[in-house]
A and B are shown apart, each in its own frame.
Chain A
């Protein structure tokens, strides 16, 4: 085998409401990830990072890559329109499937991808549409093999206008041995600042997950509640919140 890889995807809401300081903060996540990996050779060897953005449609902005590769150019972000979760989930599924297949064909062993899903608003598409797209992305039955075997771990991150009850439904896996969590900015927290905190959470997850992976454990590790930056809280799929 050529190597063991741990893919991370950052999915960024670029609806109109994200314009200004929020979008600037979201764009700064990428160089922050690059800086963190540049200081962590054990991880940079195995982490692959990709960025998608979504509005009325979804686009691959940074194809899954080794961000320290000298040919990588970080993308600019710009706002486009509405908030189609369906478009994001559909593209994510297509991308993950294509990326994992390609990496496998190239001789790599690929760990389960992790998705950080950053949004500041509720979906503007019909509930049935985004729910079924999310199911296509995440549902898998080990017994029958039905569904999407490369399903990612999904970590929703909400700021400002995001709907906590909806984001909570995007936590995947919601239960079981290694449940994921969502991260929510406190009410009234400056949204751009909150996005910067989400970036810290993403980076510490990458660092911790790389360490656990290196130590032989599988997959992503989220930072514990007591290590979260002030202004952000984490919730499980069954937690209540105000």
Chain B
């Protein structure tokens, strides 16, 4: 399997020798999933990959991105989540893992009693923020820590997308710069694109457990569409989706690729883009 290069690969791509993070031996460099789920007459093909960025490999730092894909117990809803731990916090990857896991559980609970259009997103993110603050206080060994104090050590963005396999309805929300997209031949952002038109690029993000209002996403998917949830490691080079990265990924993802190929594609080489890369894609 060869490397995927989009545009100029940069010097780092050819020269970085990955180093482990001695503080986190248990955490893999790369995780991958690929499977199909069925509901009614509909089949959805899932591909997911989270790949440690060149920079974290170079500096021997843990992968801070995380994803979760699951269905509700009845199989009707596919939940796709991506979280990107904020680099400044040494334990941010733990926040990312906890955010997608708790968020997935809460969404299943919610969807067992109400339809997707009724998901109370603001409340959900408040609960996830509280979960992270509690978890962080435990992890850091001080139950008295405030959410702000926990956030200094571990904070994360989070995006959740819920796909209703019965209706094709897609509902989602994000805090921070993880993002939800529809791939329909070309790329359609379902939320405002980060730094669009800004003079100076900033990496500052909103992150849980700090309070933040989620940005909602809404679409109706058609057969042939792909729901894609991305960390900014992919989202930043993708930009608004109209450039060569968008064209290359749209072509590669016209149909579900083999899962190892998908991970290699998510880890495409492109000069200066050395952040962790995470993508969850659902073909319907």
Contact = CB atoms under 8 A, between A and B. Distances in A.
Interface of A: 1-5, 41-42, 44-46, 68, 100, 104, 107, 109-112, 149-150, 211-218
A44 B274 CA distance: 12
Contacts of A104: 199
Contact of B272 (A46, A150, A212, A215): A46
Given A1-B239, A4-B272, A42-B274, A112 B200 contact: yes
Contacts of B243: 1-2, 107
A27 to B, nearest CB: 26
Contacts of A2: 7-8, 243, 271
B260 interface: no
A109 B275 CA distance: 14
19 contacts: A1-B236, A2-B243, A2-B271, A3-B10, A3-B271, A4-B236, A4-B273, A42-B54, A42-B58, A42-B59, A45-B272, A46-B272, A68-B11, A110-B199, A110-B201, A111-B201, A111-B203, A211-B55, A213-B203
Contacts of B87: 212, 215-217
Interface residues of B, number: 39
A3 B272 contact: yes
B200 A44 contact: no
A215 B11 contact: no
Given A1-B239, A41-B11, A42-B58, A216 B275 contact: yes
B12 A216 contact: no
A83 B161 CA distance: 59
Contacts of A109: 195, 201, 236
Contacts of A211: 55, 59
A97 to B, nearest CB: 9
Contacts of A45: 10-12, 271-272, 274
Contacts of A5: 272
B27 to A, nearest CB: 16
A218 B199 CA distance: 14
A211 B53 CA distance: 12
A68 B11 CA distance: 10
Contacts of A216: 84, 86-87, 203, 232, 275
Nearest to A101: B199
Given A109-B201, A211-B59, A216-B87, A44 B272 contact: no
Given A4-B272, A107-B243, A214-B274, A100 B199 contact: yes
A102 to B, nearest CB: 13
B259 to A, nearest CB: 26
Given A211-B59, A215-B59, 8 more contacts: A3-B10, A41-B10, A42-B54, A109-B236, A112-B200, A149-B199, A214-B55, A215-B55
Contacts of B55: 42, 211, 214-215
Contacts of B113: none
A218 B274 contact: no
A45 B87 CA distance: 20
CB-CB nearest 9 A-B residue pairs = A214-B55, A3-B272, A215-B87, A109-B201, A41-B11, A216-B87, A45-B10, A218-B203, A46-B272
Given A1-B239, A3-B272, A215-B87, A100 B200 contact: yes
B56 A215 contact: yes
B88 interface: yes
Nearest to B270: A3
A218 B202 contact: yes
B3 interface: no
A110 B54 contact: no
B47 interface: no
B186 interface: no
Which of B56, B203, B237 is most buried by chain A, counting CB atoms within 10 A of its CB?
B203
Contacts of A150: 199-200
B217 to A, nearest CB: 21
